[in-house]
Amino acid sequence: MTGFAAKLAAGAFPLALEITPPRKPLAEILLRRARGLGSRADAINVIQRPGRVPSVDASAELLEAGFEPVWHLVDRGRSRADLDGARAARTSGAGDAR
């Protein structure tokens, strides 16, 4: 069970904070933004914005780095590949070490 889900199950109030992915696929910028939230966030909402790294890609990167991302999908203009990419990232075992 994830930290966010565990808090919910225990009746606690989990906190999710939001970040915007960078304009370019630069992991160090994305991870700096996530780390900037410190231990305050139980999960990180990764929003989709035009001209930014796709939220599914940023979420997969955060998951691999040990964070608990919540992927936001704006379905207008999205492709089946986005859903397939999210499924692959989730089932690959990324983030299991957390």
pLDDT, residue 87, reads 72
- What average pLDDT does the chain have? 84
What is the rounded CA–CA span in Å between residue 47 and residue 52?
10
Measured distance CA(30)–CA(28) in Å, rounded = 6
Q: Please identify which residue in the block is written with the tokens 């989990």.
A: 14
Can you give the pTM of this predicted structure? 0.74
Tell me the C-alpha distance between 35 and 9, whole Å.
Answer: 25
pLDDT, greater one: 48 or 79:
48
Per-residue pLDDT tens over the stretch 29-58: 999 999 999 888 999 999 988 899 989 899
Please give the backbone phi and psi of residue 75, each rounded to the nearest 5 degrees, phi first.
Answer: -75, -15
Alpha helices in the chain (DSSP H): 3-9, 27-35, 55-64, 80-91
pLDDT score of 80: 73
Residue 4 tokens, joined: 């966010």
Q: Where are the domains of the chain?
A: 15-91
42 and 68 Cβ atoms separated by less than 8 Å: yes
Read off the pLDDT of residues 58-73 as tens digits, 9 standing for 90 and up.
999 999 999 999 887 7
